[in-house]
Amino acid sequence: MASHIVGYPRVGPKRELKFALESFWDGKSSAEDLKKVSAELRASIWKQQAGAGIKYIPSNTFSYYDHVLDATATLGAVPPRYGWTGGEIGFDTYFSMARGNASVPAMEMTKWFDTNYHFIVPELGPDVNFTYSSHKAVEEYKEAKALGVDTIPILVGPVSYLLLSKPAKGVEKSFSLLSLLPKVLAVYKEVVADLKAAGASWIQFDEPTLVLDLESHKLQAFTDAYSELASTLSGLNVLIETYFADIPAEAYKTLTSLSGVSAFGFDLVRGIKTLDLIKSGFPTGKYLFAGVVDGRNIWANDLAASISTLQALEGIVGKDKLVVSTSCSLLHTAVDLVNETKLDDEIKSWLAFAAQKVVEVNALAAALSGNKDEAFFSSNAAALASRKSSPRVTNEAVQKAAAALKGSEHRRATNVSARLDAQQKKLNLPILPTTTIGSFPQTVELRRVRREYKANKISEEVYVKAITEEIRKVVELQEELDIDVLVHGEPERNDMVEYFGEQLSGFAFTVNGWVQSYGSRCVKPPIIYGDVSRPKAMTVFWSSKAQSLTKRPMKGMLTGPVTILNWSFVRNDQPRSETCYQIALAIKDEVEDLEKAGINVIQIDEAALREGLPLRKSEHAHYLDWSVHSFRITNVGVQDTTQIHTHMCYSNFNDIIHSIIDMDADVITIENSRSDEKLLSVFREGVKYGAGIGPGVYDIHSPRIPPTEEIADRINKMLAVLEKNILWVNPDCGLKTRKYSEVKPALTNVVAAAKLIRNELAK
């Protein structure tokens, strides 16, 4: 029985890629240094999988930013503004597309399906001249081969690439991206021919859009694409991989009928119903890559249950045609449990990171071949039993409190218009009030202080003094810039989810459980293993201290329950909605304590609410019902004069705008600038929004500093569709990843633009 890994984390066990990228971007190391670190990471990944006994090892899964941007580079689909004149695409052009540069903005970034991974959205139109402009796929295949490892090169499928793209600026929104398929396929043929010539015997095309609700003409595009590629693919084994959800019946029929395709990969963790489709009919003589090991979470596999599933599939497709696989790329999990020195043994026994999942995949394949590792299976069963019976998982009081939530919608008693009037009387803000989203730059010195405090190298007194001084600097800077509603800059927080999880019961934390979000941006998701509650206040001390330093309103900064849930590794032994309600009650306690402490503006970030939206439309209503309800629970008990903000970023919000309105926040700040102000189109189409709203006026993920005139132009576009008395002016997101040398001039321009428009409105 063969084994397969869909993809593997590229960031490195201790974020080696992150540090190499940032050193290169800062001019502290060369391109050759970056390439050397990357080659070492790739080599270690291939050797590890080969050593574990994996037969089908992936290549071309490594990326300096994201794999869709890599596909854009391969196709030479570089927007004209980057000045690329042809040839092999180098780092300058590649990173300009990802991050922007001094003169032009970056391309749009959005979430990869319903994950916290991001990708750069291709900008396409009828005039794009597709050319084979990055030979990364074949170079990495040859690199692995030179190490003695034969791999399956992985390519973003041509149809999914187009379906994930958008019309470029100036191109009609109605332009059919699929009309570009013949041009794109011409380049794919060159790539395939190159891989063939290099000795590849398998190629994997990732076509995850097949799990979406696709119209018939989009399904037809898959048939057309692989029919066109069939002759080029002749002589190769071709795997089409899908993941993240059940595949719809019509898409399954289309997929399993494709020309020249030898194998089909399915997510059988999130795609339970796909099993029924396979049982009702699977093409004779084809391979089934069965994704039974979860690539999205960190819990140890139920090996006995997986063996049962695999044995049933074996009876359908045949022993020689069944391949044990992961449900999706392991990119979405932490790298290796071996690096965790502070997790206690009990919780550690319940977990499997990417390296352990590789072992699980191979152990399942070996067991099906008659070489079952009895000790490994026995240890797995004992760990599962331990988790199920552990008293640390269950808190009856929390479960009762969550159960009592049912039967109420938890809405504030007064409508938002009346609340805004009451808040304005108290806050006395100007028209077009300015604010930021929460975090300010995290300096090397600040990170050192936090690190030393955690390691008990400095006293609490020294730590508090250092953090207080940082808050004072941030407050003084905002007052100097004349920002209206201030933030304390979050100097005590490394991560907006980790910070809260560390103070809530039911959470566990890793030392090196890093997961790549995009480029050099890595997060360390908490592990929710049990019932959640708040033992004590979490932010009141720092928020009160910050408010004491200014007469201007100071925002209390919280992460919302849905975002904490979606940015954590969540327990899989109860519905996600139940866990979310528990977190909501904990945040509710914090909100009410902040209000009692005199904080009149409280921001409850729900940056990841859209991210968690299920991929199938039939499941949207249920998710939006409990997630929006969870947000309302957090602030239902506050006074009308307490202004509740929320923040969302880097997702397509237009299709859930009515649910956003139903959250009933007083003010929402939302990413807008990097996505070409796509958000504003929903208001042009007649959606009425009566609460405060701050569509972002500049992209904080780029080092570029937007001029005042550009920001003013954005504000005017907003005023064309939004009332001036509800509009706020703010960046797209928090400023943690930027430098003060970028933040100060950018915020100076933001405030100047707001004042410019205020003066024009006054006239």
Q: Which two tokens stand for residue 540?
A: 């009141």
Helix (H, G, I), strand (E, B) or coil at 360: helix
Residue 67: which region, alpha, beta or left (left: phi > 0; alpha: psi -120 to 50)?
alpha
Interatomic CA distance for residues 177 and 167, integer angstroms: 7
Interatomic CA distance for residues 90 and 226, integer angstroms: 30
Interatomic CA distance for residues 67 and 64, integer angstroms: 8
Answer whether 690's CB lies under 8 Å from 416's CB. yes
Answer whether 216's CB lies under 8 Å from 224's CB. no
Q: Which residues contact 230 (CB under 8 A, 6 or more apart)?
A: 259, 260
Q: Which two tokens stand for residue 394?
A: 């269950």
Number of alpha carbons in the 13 Å side-chain half-sphere of residue 491: 24
Helix (H, G, I), strand (E, B) or coil at 529: strand
The Cα angle at residue 28 between residues 26 and 33, in degrees rounded to 5: 110
Q: How many CB atoms lie within 10 A of CB 722?
A: 19
Q: If we measure between CA atoms, which residue out of 418, 470, 400 comes closest to residue 441?
A: 470
Residue type (1 letter), 368 = L
Residues making up the annotated binding site for L-methionine are 437-439, 490, 605
Answer whether 629's CB lies under 8 Å from 662's CB. no
| DSSP H helices in 171-242 | 181-198, 216-233
Helix (H, G, I), strand (E, B) or coil at 692: strand
Residue 490: which region, alpha, beta or left (left: phi > 0; alpha: psi -120 to 50)?
left
User: What DSSP assignment string belongs to 712-741?
Assistant: HHHHHHHHTTS-TTTB-B--SS--TTS-HH
Residues making up the annotated binding site for 5-methyltetrahydropteroyltri-L-glutamate are 18, 116, 521-522, 567
Residues making up the annotated binding site are 18, 116, 437-439, 490, 521-522, 567, 605, 647, 649, 658, 662, 671, 733
Question: Which residue among 332, 488, 645, 701 is the active-site one?
Answer: 701
Residues making up the annotated binding site for Zn(2+) are 647, 649, 658, 662, 671, 733
Residue type (1 letter), 718 = M
Answer whether 6's CB lies under 8 Å from 328's CB. yes
Q: Which residue(s) pair with 4 in the sheet?
A: 56
User: What DSSP assignment string belongs to 224-267?
Assistant: HHHHHHHHHHTTSEEEEE--SSPPPHHHHHHHTT-TT--EEEEE
Q: What stretches of 631-730 adopt beta strand conformation (E)?
A: 643-648, 667-670, 692-695
Q: If we measure between CA atoms, which residue out of 326, 359, 298 comes closest to residue 510?
A: 298
Cα–Cα distances (Å) from 505 to 394, 513, 541, 590, in that order, read: 11, 19, 19, 14
Q: Which contacts (CB < 8 Å, 24+ apart) does range 220-223 have?
A: 220/254, 221/159, 221/162, 221/178, 221/181, 222/159, 222/254, 222/255, 222/258, 223/254, 223/257, 223/258, 223/259
Decide if 488 is catalytic.
no
Q: Which two tokens stand for residue 591?
A: 């909100």
Owner of token pair 């007649």: 686
Answer whether 110's CB lies under 8 Å from 121's CB. yes
Owner of token pair 């100076």: 748
> How big, in percent rounded to 5, are the helix, strand and coil portions of the chain?
45, 15, 40
Interatomic CA distance for residues 194 and 199, integer angstroms: 9
Q: Which residues are catalytic?
A: 701
